[in-house]
Amino acid sequence: MRSIERLRPLHRLLEDPHALAALLEEIPIAVWIYGADGRPITMNRHAVRVIGGGVEDAHQVVIRNDPGPNVELFRPDGTPYRFDEYPVVRALRGETVRDEQVIVVTRWRAGIYLVNTSPLWDEGGRILGSVSTAQDIRVQKQLEAELARGRQAALEASRSKSRMLYALSHDLRLPLNSIALSVELLLSQVRDGQDREVCDAAERIRRSLGAITELLDDGLRLARIEAGVEPLHPTQFRLGELVTECLASVEPEAGLKGLELRFEDPAQAAALEVTTDRSKLRQIILNLLGNAVRYTEQGWVSVRAWAAPDGIRIAVADTGPGIAPEDRERVFHEYTRLESGRRAAIRGSGLGLAIAQRLAGLLSGRIELESTVGAGSRFTLVLPRSNGEGKADSAGDDADKAQSGEGDQCDCDDGQPDRSEASGQPQDGAEDPQAVPGGLELAGGSGGARQVRHLDLEDAKPARDGRSCQFGLDLEAR
């Protein structure tokens, strides 16, 4: 009651029609006030612009019974509203409508708006009318359409890259295998201590073939992940056994460099059981370990696995050169290597951390990085305790939908001709119940209802009568 008392001076102020009109005109979106009989009591200039035509035309739009072709409302998917579903009609029945996207089509114009409407009650609970607002969201829709086009282009580029990598793999596998077999045959024929130059050359060829094969395998793995065709095969297993297996895989390389491999608190890791894709988790740990061994010249590389409140954590730490703050995000980008100091001479494809991060995402996890330049780095993989259903299936579904054209779309055509010419828009003063503003296409639906097929989002062209068509939306009925 106290808040109502504070509004009484405003009530007296609004009894002055000039004060009410001035207040409405200062509101930057369209506002209508309707009476209980469905007739407009007042509206601001933005509301007149929504209807199109002139002020008198706007005041002739009476929401008392079905206005027919004077005002038609459509949902964003193109399907029409029934008259009893109109937001104003629902408000006059006592319903409040919040943030509803509505395509408004009148004899003069069309556009898409975010509509809110509420009933107006008196002290006795009687509905006196309704107040409605409409905010033009064509710019927002333009941005959404541009984002959809960009996403589709990115998906197509990713698919093209994947197809290229698959073809490259098929074409390169046979000659690479042939070269590798020839090198092994050559080495088997060279006696110890004899033909040392030939032996050294063959060893260099073998190492180069290994590097090429590693790069090819990493590129293919990344392409499969990005294409959403990397399936998950979750199983239950002991985490400690997997960590021990990964340490054994990198032990030879660490031994050649004189590095100490540490498995911190192995008993704690041995007690942990996880349910996830074992091969993908193994690949993540191997990539983190391999990266640490590769860039650490002296000291140690350690692994620790433990249960934390946010899931299972696996940390790989080293005493390497560390990573500067400005490079910590970049190291996870594909084909990225930090070309400073001796790092430039270290072999690698620049894909290890990128693959590890994407595989972590497939397992519903993440990788955290802590590093101090000159002291070392710590990469921590955080995983849920159980990951029976991964993201790869949904990623694959998204890729399939994008390829087949299913799913949410907003197809926008650049450089479309002005449809007002083709639609036969009436001359000034002529009435044609089937005519629609330029840039809008309507099609017959079931039961004689019309559906929106196209509402142009590009800059509006002037209508034949000289009025400006300010709408801008491009939709396809689904």
Dump pLDDT digits (tens) for 196-221. 777 778 888 887 887 777 777 777 77
Average of pLDDT values for 272-292? 93
Of the given ranges (62-66, 87-91, 94-98), which has the lowest mean pLDDT? 62-66
Strand partners, 332: none
- Model pTM? 0.49
- CA 54, 55, 59, 60 dihedral sign is negative
Note down the domain range covering 468.
Answer: 1-136+413-478
356 and 225 Cβ atoms separated by less than 8 Å: no
Q: What is the CATH number of the domain that holds 111?
A: 3.30.450.20
407 inside domain:
no
Burial class (CB in 10 A: 0-12, 13-18, 19+), 26: exposed
Q: Are residues 56 and 169 in the same domain?
A: no
Mean pLDDT of 435-442: 48
275 and 345 share one domain? yes
Residue 34 and residue 120 share a domain: yes
Q: How many domains does the chain have?
A: 3
Cβ proximity of 440 and 454 under 8 Å: yes
DSSP 181-241: HHHHHHHHHSPTTSSHHHHHHHHHHHHHHHHHHHHHHHHHHHHHHHTT-----EEEEEHHH
- Residue 2, token pair as written in the block: 């106290």
Range with the lowest mean pLDDT among 156-160, 322-326, 347-351? 347-351
Q: Note whether residue 408 is domain-resident.
A: no
Question: Does some domain include residue 141?
Answer: no
Q: Are residues 438 and 335 in the same domain?
A: no
Residues 385 and 432 in one domain: no
102, part of any domain: yes
Do residues 120 and 370 touch, judged by C-beta distance below 8 A? no
Check whether 260 has a pLDDT greater than 80: yes
Question: Are 244 and 210 within one domain?
Answer: no
CA distances from 155 to 137, 219, 245 (A): 27, 17, 37
